[in-house]
């Protein structure tokens, strides 16, 4: 009967979750489609958060209150990204939560990346309910005052802004100030990419975002400071102080989503202890996760949620097991071992997930976290002390100096460690099923070490054998792959041709262009060597135009006009890929496409794409538009 009840309850939760995420997906859609959105001429918006500075713009998350659509004002309940160009107009730097603007122009949908295995920013924003963005200059908007309606998020945002001014007043060095804002308020928009890379290499990136680590430190501090209240008569006060302290810290940091989730998790743990029952920490954590996902199901796809939950789960399951392996009498050494055990418990649990998303494993995490966790504790304590006594200038000077000095020393140490050649393993790629195999293997290994049960050992062996077989099969598949990729770009027709582990290409670009276009795909498919098309006989170049033969199919990349003069047999190919320049030549001469299939690259978009499709759709077997459908892939 217990098994039947558990099965029914489990199935019910799955159905409830399915209905909940379906309901959210139904309502979490843009108000206007691609055609109608161009008819919007004006919008009234309310600033929700920001600004976040980019090279040319200040970026705000805003709520759209009303839109002027076909000369009629329509109420709207959407969010969008508003980019205001930087310039001489200083007003754009003072906008904060609650400010209302009248903006001229219409938003545009955030464009999908469209290239395989790259980060899709549009998909990420869509899960937050943001589908559009708008770029405007200072002359295209009018300040309309503040929204007078009560808003809790606005109060949190203004609280964060006030605390930010306190930090700016007491910390002089810009770098240390930016780090303090990130560590205490979760405001990372002024952290440079170089700094983020250093903290990622050393495995301490979590210290730059106010999240579960910070809330956990607050929880431990409150537990240590007020443990004298944990008596029968005052135990309720003890737990009330813990919950109040955690949520007060969350409010101080602006109630960012990671802090909210961590605060909910620790609140469930506190309430479980307050109840006086013998609660199971895992049941408590899963109850907290269920409650969070019930409010916002799309958080299941949030990297920060996954990492936070896995980290807390790892601490709950592994920390004591690792810590009790070594007994140390010396208090200082014992404290160091506690931090090391905590870091190991977290890393063992989250390392498959971090490799999956970030493709890096920090080798120095036991050392760096031995520094990072005490640093976070000192920063939080001195920061809170600074905020409390900031009205008294003479008293606030000391915690301000302590905060700046500690952050300065910490950053120098981390920067030195991050510069070591063996600081991290990079370019590591795992597939989704491999993450689950590794997590299952870790769990089974720990259970076997605990219980010494032969049954668990057999299951573990089976999992490892299946995992090894899949890895070998995948390795063989990659060594025999023959694929062609025409990537989605704004200008050039970047193309890769994979033969086994060797990539032949017409684009050897590096930097951000490579990062957001073809590098992730090459690494995911375990490419070892990259060279130009000239190094392989199945390609032939005619200026910028290229003929490719793969799997008995012929593909022509036509990037410059006057193809007929080159002698390239373009009328006999199976696939003809063209760009905006060559398309205009054909449309101007009213020639017909006689290739089997036509590929329109990423430079053909908007009105040109619609017009071209109508003119040539009867001349070819099919038309593939890279701008709308993403990278073109031909798999042999």
| Residues 52, 82 contacting (CB under 8 angstroms) | no
> Residues 545-575: pLDDT tens digits?
888 888 888 888 888 775 555 555 556 678 8
Q: Quick one: residue 105, left, alpha or beta (phi over 0 = left, psi -120 to 50 = alpha)?
A: left
Closest CA to 245 of 228, 227, 229, 267: 267
Q: List the structure tokens of 388.
A: 């409390």
Query: Using an 8 Å Cβ cutoff, are 532 and 506 in contact?
Result: yes
Residues 6+ apart with CB under 8 A from 505: 494, 495, 496, 497, 518, 530, 531, 532, 533
> Is there a domain that residue 216 lies in?
yes
CB 243 within 8 A of CB 270: yes
pLDDT, tens digit (0-9, with 9 covering 90-100), for 73-95: 888 878 888 888 876 445 545 67
Using alpha carbons, select from 530, 514, 549 the residue that is nearest to residue 115: 514
196, 319: one domain: yes
* Number of folded domains that form the chain: 4
pLDDT at 34 > cutoff 70: no
Task: Give how far Cα 433 sits from Cα of 285, 352, 365, 409, 575, Å.
Answer: 24, 11, 25, 41, 34
Do 486 and 475 share a structural domain? no
DSSP lists the bridge partners of residue 485 as: 496, 633
For the residues 396-422, what does the mean pLDDT come to? Answer: 86
- Rounded to whole angstroms, the Cα distance separating 200 from 564 reads 52
SS3 of 509-526: CCCHHHHCCCHHHHHHCC
The answer to whether the beta carbons of residues 547 and 566 sit under 8 Å apart is no
Using the structure block, give the residue that is written with the tokens 């997590």. 439
Domain that holds residue 473: 432-479
Tell me, what's the pLDDT at 615? 64
Residue with tokens 């106010």: 210
Give tens-digit pLDDT for 35-55: 667 778 888 888 887 677 777
pLDDT digits (tens, 9 = 90+) for 113-158: 889 988 888 888 887 778 888 888 767 888 887 776 666 666 777 7
Report the CATH number that the domain containing residue 119 is assigned in CATH: 2.40.50
Q: How many CA atoms lie within 13 A of 294 on its CB side?
A: 11
* pLDDT of amino acid 496: 92
With cut-offs at 50, 70 and 90, classify the pLDDT of residue 1. very low
| 314 and 265 within one domain | yes
Residues 473 and 488 in one domain: no
- 262 in the same domain as 168: yes
Q: Which of these three, 417, 452, 479, is where a domain ends?
A: 479
Asked if the structure places residue 294 within a domain, the reply is: yes
Q: Tell me, yes or no, whether 182 and 271 share the same domain.
A: yes
Q: Is residue 228 part of a domain?
A: yes
pLDDT confidence bin for 22, thresholds 50/70/90: low
Q: How far apart, in whole angstroms, are the C-alpha atoms of residue 445 and residue 148?
A: 58
Share of the chain above pLDDT 90, in %: 4
Specify the DSSP element, H or E, that contains 323: helix 303-323
The token pair at 589 is 């001469």
Asked if 169 and 255 sit in the same domain, the reply is: yes
Which pLDDT belongs to residue 3?
Answer: 44
Is 217 or 486 the better-scoring residue by pLDDT?
486
Contact 115, 486 (CB under 8 A): no
Strand partners, 496: 485, 505
Domain identity same for 486 and 441:
no
User: Do 397 and 522 lie in a common domain?
Assistant: no
Specify whether the CB–CB gap between 559 and 603 falls below 8 A.
Answer: no
Residue 10 has pLDDT above 60, yes or no: no
Does residue 86 lie in a domain region? Answer: yes
Residue 25 falls within a domain, yes or no? Answer: no
Statement to judge: residues 201 and 343 lie in one domain: yes
CA gap 143, 46 in Å, rounded: 10
Evaluate whether 83 touches 54 at the Cβ level (below 8 Å): yes
Residue 5 lies in a domain: no
Residue 367 above 80 pLDDT?
yes
Residue range 203-224: mean pLDDT, rounded: 78
pLDDT 10s digits, 509-558: 887 888 888 888 998 888 889 998 888 888 887 777 888 888 888 888 88
Q: Is the pLDDT of residue 495 over 50?
A: yes
188, 284: one domain: yes
Q: Could you report the per-residue pLDDT of 432-468, keeping only the tens digit for each?
A: 888 889 988 888 888 888 888 888 888 889 999 999 9
Would you place residue 484 in the very low, low, confident or very high pLDDT band (cuts 50, 70, 90)? very high
Task: Based on the fold, state whether residues 519 and 453 are members of the same structural domain.
Answer: no
């Amino acid at each position: 009967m217990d098994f039947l009840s558990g099965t029914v309850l489990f199935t019910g939760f799955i159905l409830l979750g399915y209905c909940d995420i379906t309901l959210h997906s139904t309502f979490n859609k843009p108000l206007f489609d691609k055609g109608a959105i161009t008819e919007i001429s004006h919008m009234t918006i309310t600033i929700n958060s920001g600004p976040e500075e980019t090279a040319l713009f200040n970026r705000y998350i805003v709520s759209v209150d009303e839109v002027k659509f076909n000369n009629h004002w329509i109420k709207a309940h959407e969010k969008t990204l508003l980019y205001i160009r930087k310039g001489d107009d200083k007003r754009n730097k003072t906008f904060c939560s609650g400010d209302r603007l009248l903006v001229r122009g219409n938003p545009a949908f955030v464009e999908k990346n469209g290239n395989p295995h790259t980060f899709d920013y549009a998909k990420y924003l869509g899960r937050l309910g943001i589908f559009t963005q708008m770029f405007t200059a200072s002359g295209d908007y009018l300040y309309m005052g503040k929204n007078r309606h009560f808003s809790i998020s606005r109060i949190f945002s203004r609280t964060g802004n006030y605390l930010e001014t306190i930090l700016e007043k007491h910390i002089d060095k810009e770098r240390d100030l930016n780090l303090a804002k990130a560590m205490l308020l979760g405001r990372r928009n002024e952290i440079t990419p170089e700094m983020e890379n250093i903290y990622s290499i050393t495995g301490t990136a979590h210290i730059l975002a106010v999240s579960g680590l910070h809330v956990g430190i607050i929880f431990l501090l409150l537990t240590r400071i007020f443990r004298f209240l944990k008596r029968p008569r005052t135990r309720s006060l003890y737990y009330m102080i813990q919950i109040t302290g955690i949520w007060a810290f969350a409010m101080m940091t602006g109630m960012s989503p990671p802090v909210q989730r961590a605060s909910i998790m620790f609140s469930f743990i506190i309430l479980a202890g307050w109840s006086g029952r013998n609660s199971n920490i895992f049941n408590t954590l899963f109850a907290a996760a269920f409650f969070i996902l019930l409010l916002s199901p799309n958080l299941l796809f949030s990297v920060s949620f996954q990492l936070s939950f896995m980290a807390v789960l790892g601490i709950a399951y592994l920390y004591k097991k690792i810590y009790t392996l070594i007994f140390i009498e010396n208090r200082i050494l014992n404290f160091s071992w506690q931090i090391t055990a905590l870091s190991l418990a977290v890393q063992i649990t989250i390392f498959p997930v971090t490799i999956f998303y970030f493709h890096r494993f920090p080798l120095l995490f036991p050392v760096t976290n031995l520094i990072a966790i005490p640093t976070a504790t000192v920063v939080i304590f001195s920061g809170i002390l600074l905020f409390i006594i900031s009205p008294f200038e003479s008293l606030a000077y000391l915690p301000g100096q302590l905060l700046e000095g500690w952050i300065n020393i910490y950053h120098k140490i981390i920067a030195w460690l991050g510069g070591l050649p063996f600081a991290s393993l990079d370019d590591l790629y795992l597939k989704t099923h491999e993450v689950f195999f590794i997590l299952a293997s870790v769990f089974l290994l720990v259970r076997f070490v605990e219980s010494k049960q032969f049954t668990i050992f057999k299951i573990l062996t089976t999992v490892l054998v299946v995992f090894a077989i899949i890895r070998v099969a995948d390795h063989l598949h990659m060594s025999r792959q023959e694929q062609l990729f025409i990537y989605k770009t704004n200008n050039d027709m970047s193309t890769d041709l994979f033969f086994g582990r060797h990539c032949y290409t017409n684009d050897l670009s590096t930097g951000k262009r490579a990062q957001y276009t073809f590098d992730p795909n090459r690494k995911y498919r375990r490419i070892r060597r990259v060279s130009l098309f000239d190094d392989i006989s199945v390609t032939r170049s005619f200026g910028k135009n290229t003929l490719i033969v793969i799997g008995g199919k012929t593909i022509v990349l036509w990037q410059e006009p006057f193809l007929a003069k080159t002698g390239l047999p373009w009328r006999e190919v199976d696939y003809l890929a063209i760009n905006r320049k060559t398309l205009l030549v054909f449309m101007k001469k009213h020639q017909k496409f006689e290739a089997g299939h036509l590929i329109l690259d990423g430079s053909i978009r908007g009105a040109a794409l619609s017009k071209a499709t109508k003119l040539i759709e009867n001349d070819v077997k099919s038309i593939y538009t890279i701008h709308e459908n993403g990278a073109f892939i031909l798999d042999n």
